[in-house]
Structure 1
Amino acid sequence: MNTKPRKIVSGEIRDKEKTMLKLINAVGEIIKTEGYTALGVNKIAKKAEVNKKLIYRYFDNNVNNLIETYVKAKDYWIGLSENMEDILMQADVDHGKELLKSILNRQLTFFYTAEEMQKIIIWEISEKNKMIKDVSFKREEFGEEIFKLIGPYFENADTDIRSLLALQVAGVYYMVLQAKANGNTFCGVDINEPNGMERVLKALDKITDLVYKDAEDNLKNKANAALDKAAY
């Protein structure tokens, strides 16, 4: 009797990968068209046109693992964390000013077009959910890596970069969600129009410039105060 374990051939691996991709894409389609409340094993399997048993087989017996895989693959901040080497190089220049401008501008343009992520952020702020909380924690981990790079400069300058960036990021989320949900202007600015979008992108850059200017001025004032003290 042959007791050797059966070898998994390449065709089976390809079939598994193809099925997993179909399931992941099905999650996105349901979120986009029906919202996160419609997610369930039966509906995902039907949308993907696969047996629901495969969800449990390929995602460790938990449909939330499938949903989390999709969310992490689509999340802007988690996607950025995969390019930390490039980010580290950019942060060495001008204490990360141009890096932050790029990150914030891309956050706005990405989030504006990412319907699934808009639904996911609404989900995140609408109810307590361990899976969504874990995704949020992954974003925070990436944020901490950025703050490790730029934080010391602002700490020395007594500029609260964390709170300032939090307001910018949150503002992007709200302006997009409000514009997409109601099509209304916010403070007279309509980001559904190219001119309105351009105004907000420029405003994000301007805020970043002002934050760095504030830090620079504070550091100069500290240095001058130290020189004056040493002169006496």
Structure 2
Amino acid sequence: MARKTYQGEKNDKSRTMTKLIQAVGAVLEKKGYTGLSIANIASTAGVDRKLISVYFGSVDNLIETYIKGKDYWVEATIAAEETLAKASGTSSRLFLENLLLEQIDQFTLNEEMQKVVLWQISEKSDIMSHVTQTREKMSALFFPYSDKELAGKDVDLRAVSSLLVAGIYYLVLHTKTTDSTFCEINLTTEEGINRIKDAVKFILKQTYGVK
């Protein structure tokens, strides 16, 4: 029988890194981005604070690792690379529509990312600059693809997409932080969310000239 290789140190490192990443989310949810200190994260993870530097290099790298693992657009970009590379006949309108509808669902459920976006728009941060640059990889992938489909049409899909993505972020954050409706739409209900989704579909159809 082959002897088992000792994996203790490797497993300990993996477990500790996972604890630290999860601790970032716990601190973010409980105390917001202003609470993301080395002391708070290490205490929540139940590990020595020195291990943050040992395993991640810095607390900023740890936080960025957490955010990239949770960010919808970072994950969607990975999936898009496969989809757009394999399916040359994929409708860019339907592809974008699916991305935006999924953004609504994912961002509505992910309270930690809601706090991350609030952080992003509240103050300048190297961490959020790096994350935003990663998100922009989706633009570099998608828009050259959609440009071919929209060739000859007077359509600024980049501007339309910007308004839709930003609008979704704002509507979800507004709903989470206030008790009021938005333009008389109750976004805490399934009916309200579906009205927003239908509006996204309508705007994209109009943009692409689809009847």
Task: State whether TM-score is above 0.5.
Answer: yes
Q: Which has the higher contact order (CA 8 A, sep 6+)?
A: 2
Aligned mate of 1:181, from 177, 180, 183: 177
Q: Which deviates further from its counterpart, 75-84 or 152-161?
A: 152-161
Q: Which runs of 5+ in 2 are unaligned?
A: none
- Specify the alignment match of 1:170 in structure 2: 166
Per the TM alignment, residue 161 of structure 1 is displaced from its structure 2 partner at its CA by 0.4
Per the TM alignment, residue 93 of structure 1 is displaced from its structure 2 partner at its CA by 2.3
TM-score (norm 2): 0.93
Aligned mate of 1:125, from 107, 110, 121: 121
The whole-number CA distance in structure 1 between the counterparts of 2:110 and 2:88 is 27
Query: Is residue 105–residue 201 contact of structure 1 (8 Å, CA) maintained in 2?
Result: yes
Aligned mate of 1:15, from 12, 18, 23: 12
- Specify the alignment match of 2:62 in structure 1: 66
Q: CA RMSD in A?
A: 1.6
Per the TM alignment, residue 125 of structure 1 is displaced from its structure 2 partner at its CA by 0.7
Letter in 2 for 1:15: D
SS at match of 2:181: coil
Count of residues in Structure 1 that have an aligned counterpart in Structure 2: 206
- Specify the alignment match of 1:113 in structure 2: 109
Per the TM alignment, residue 86 of structure 1 is displaced from its structure 2 partner at its CA by 1.9
The whole-number CA distance in structure 2 between the counterparts of 1:89 and 1:201 is 27
Query: Is residue 183–residue 192 contact of structure 1 (8 Å, CA) maintained in 2?
Result: no
- Specify the alignment match of 1:99 in structure 2: 95
- Specify the alignment match of 1:144 in structure 2: 140
Per the TM alignment, residue 116 of structure 1 is displaced from its structure 2 partner at its CA by 0.8
Aligned mate of 2:30, from 11, 28, 33: 33
Q: Which has the larger radius of gyration?
A: 1
The whole-number CA distance in structure 2 between the counterparts of 1:173 and 1:142 is 17
Letter in 2 for 1:49: G
The whole-number CA distance in structure 1 between the counterparts of 2:202 and 2:172 is 19
SS at match of 1:51: coil
Q: Which runs of 5+ in 1 are unaligned?
A: 1-7, 217-232
Query: Is residue 29–residue 115 contact of structure 2 (8 Å, CA) maintained in 1?
Result: yes
The whole-number CA distance in structure 2 between the counterparts of 1:15 and 1:56 is 16
1:46-75 CA-partner distances (Å, limit 9, x unpaired): 000011111110011x11000000000000
TM-score (norm 1): 0.85
The whole-number CA distance in structure 2 between the counterparts of 1:81 and 1:211 is 23
SS at match of 1:191: coil
1:121-167 CA-partner distances (Å, limit 9, x unpaired): 11001111111111001111222211111023335212000001100
- Specify the alignment match of 2:188 in structure 1: 192
The whole-number CA distance in structure 1 between the counterparts of 2:139 and 2:65 is 20
The sequence identity of aligned pairs, in percent, is: 37
The whole-number CA distance in structure 1 between the counterparts of 2:6 and 2:139 is 41
The whole-number CA distance in structure 1 between the counterparts of 2:27 and 2:139 is 29
Letter in 2 for 1:131: I
- Specify the alignment match of 1:48 in structure 2: 45
Per the TM alignment, residue 21 of structure 1 is displaced from its structure 2 partner at its CA by 0.4
- Specify the alignment match of 1:82 in structure 2: 78
Letter in 1 for 2:27: I
